[in-house]
Structure 1
Amino acid sequence: SNNRSSKNKNSKESSSIDRRRRERESEPKVDRRRREPYNAGPSSWGGVARRGAGWLEVTEKIETPERNRNTAYARPEPTYEDRRARAIEEKPTRDKVRYEADAAVNRAKKRTHRSAVVKRSLLPASPRKLPDAEASLVRILGNKDGRRALRRLVEASQAFEQERFFEARKILIPLERQAPGVAEIVEMSGLTLYRLGRWREAAKKLEKFREISGGTEQNPVLADCYRALEWWVDVEELWDELRDASPSGSLVTEGRIVAAGALADQGKVSGAINLLERGWRFPKRAKDYHLRRAYALADLYERSGKIPKARDLFVWITHQDKNYGDVASRIQALQ
């Protein structure tokens, strides 16, 4: 009887084991190493790290409201400024882009106004005596290639004079590679880039020309590049250098006009007027640079509200040249 009871017991145990095995086999296959919802983080993380991250997410969701109510270090309610700053930070809108752009521009202006951007060496007492373009190109490239390069330089100069600036630039690029130190090529390249409105590139070329030539011949154009870039201290340095060198009346006048324009661009209109008025006299025989200076001064008079002075100066210009710019229409507008 004992043997029979033990057999029955063993058969029951085996049948229960078999039943549980069948139940497990009938269940869907699940990777029990992944304990959802406690998995988080990228798949490149290890299993322990991902489960830890998932658990942190779950506990944050559960505990954060109660913790915020009970803790002695609960965060204060955000102020209006905090909410506005956060909104600007979180919303990638046009307002944010405009805000960041304006901030960058303001930082750039503050940085460039304090000191000169370009560190330039002092010029010699007088301009260097350089060989002409033909002699320089023949010396560098040889007789045949040098004369061919000279012809190309003349073609670039003609294209420039006819305001075909892209064509001039196309001709000058290979010449710069062949003879990068020839003053005429560097100068023409800088002037062409200036007329194309590529201020930074033009300034680099004209700074190089200044170093090669040792003169202030292109200081007005160079200063105007920096005026376009709003590098005010560089404009001022180049104007001081040109005024001290005083190479010719026309060059000094051009530099004066650029320097005055830079002051006006900064809102210093009275300073710009003072600069153009200084030493001004009506010439007996007016040249083009006299008319340019008078026009710039009349324009500043009008901007500052000195209408009678502006009108009188515009009228004087028409007596020298009836068709000078838009002077006639400006006089009519000031009547």
Structure 2
Amino acid sequence: MSLPKGLAEDVSRNLVMVAQLIDEDPEKAYDYSRVALRLASRVAAVREAAGFAAYATQKYSEALAEFRAARRMSGGVELWPVMADCERGLNRPERALAMAGEPEVQKLDKAGQVEMRLVAAGARRDLGQLDAAIVTLQSPELASSAVHPWTARLRYAYADALLAAGREREAREWFAKALEADKDGSTDASDRLAEMDGIEFVDAFDEDEREAEERGEALDADADADLDEDEDEDDDLDGSDDSVGDKS
């Protein structure tokens, strides 16, 4: 659907703000998405952006409605995994699993299929089916040594499931593999490894701040001590003056 130039520019500005803020300030991104939605609710890209903004703020029912609308308008299947994850967010893991078995999954590209696998494994865990979650994640994509944008997250999810199942040695191995593939810091695999190894990181800035506070407290204590000594000396002098006066 085409929009008049002025309206299109207004919508575009709001969508740009959604994209810029969705990670650092999702609530504000959501506000911008609502403005864009009021301006152009019949544009698929607007409905999709509104869906992701609602998803980022955990408004899963609203997000699902927007994704469905965007899908009806565009006819694509790329939103299928995130729609299934919305079902998980709404405490309906069975529906997410049902979606994982629908024909739409076969139409997804490789990244979309991996995302669907992650959602399905999460749904299995929601249902307390840890072993099934582990099996769901076992795939050629997991076994491959090639690194793709989704590799770190897939390995991380597998490691986390193994750890939840009490398979710590294997979990550590896969957290290490996730870290190896995590070029942009999309997971906290390094923290999980450190936790498993009993390593505690100390923030250098916090340490410096503590030392500065301790130095400040020591200086305050010294100043108080000096003040007390000065007061004692003044008292002694006052006492001496009184004695001289008495003798006269």
TM, length-normalised to structure 1: 0.53
Equivalent residues in 2 for 1:6-45, closer than 5 Å: none
The change in CA–CA distance for 1:263 and 1:179 in structure 2 (over 3 A counts) is same
Residues 1:154 and 2:30 are matched in the alignment: no
Q: Is the 8 A contact 1:137 1:150 kept in 2?
A: no
Residues 1:186 and 2:34 are matched in the alignment: no
Larger helix proportion of the pair: 2
SS in 2 for 1:215: coil
2:192 matched residue in structure 1? 330
Equivalent residue for 1:320, pick from 156, 181, 186? 181
Q: C-alpha offsets along residues 71-106 of structure 1, whole Å, 9 cap, x if unaligned?
A: xxxxxxxxxxxxxxxxxxxxxxxxxxxxxxxxxxxx
1:6 matched residue in structure 2? none
SS in 2 for 1:288: coil
RMSD value, Cα: 2.3
Equivalent residue for 2:105, pick from 238, 243, 246? 243
> What amino acid sits opposite 2:13 in the alignment?
R
Whole-angstrom distance in 2 between the partners of 1:232 and 1:325: 23
1:263 matched residue in structure 2? 124
Q: C-alpha offsets along residues 132-165 of structure 1, whole Å, 9 cap, x if unaligned?
A: xxxx342xxx3333333333333333333x5332
1:104 matched residue in structure 2? none
> What amino acid sits opposite 2:35 in the alignment?
P
1:121 matched residue in structure 2? none
Q: Is the 8 A contact 1:318 1:324 kept in 2?
A: no
SS in 1 for 2:140: coil
Deviation at 1:228, TM superposition (A): 1.5
Q: C-alpha offsets along residues 116-138 of structure 1, whole Å, 9 cap, x if unaligned?
A: xxxxxxxxxxxxxxxxxxxx342
Whole-angstrom distance in 2 between the partners of 1:308 and 1:297: 13
Equivalent residue for 1:205, pick from 50, 66, 74? 66
1:276 matched residue in structure 2? 137
TM, length-normalised to structure 2: 0.70
Sequence identity (%)? 27
Residues 1:174 and 2:38 are matched in the alignment: no
Equivalent residues in 2 for 1:110-125, closer than 5 Å: none
Whole-angstrom distance in 1 between the partners of 2:186 and 2:51: 28
Bigger radius of gyration, 1 or 2?
1
Q: C-alpha offsets along residues 197-245 of structure 1, whole Å, 9 cap, x if unaligned?
A: 1111111111111222222212222111111212123212332234321
Q: Is the 8 A contact 1:286 1:320 kept in 2?
A: yes
1:43 matched residue in structure 2? none
Residues 1:216 and 2:106 are matched in the alignment: no
The change in CA–CA distance for 1:315 and 1:182 in structure 2 (over 3 A counts) is same
Q: Is the 8 A contact 2:18 2:53 kept in 1?
A: no
Q: Is the 8 A contact 2:159 2:170 kept in 1?
A: yes
Equivalent residue for 1:305, pick from 160, 166, 171? 166
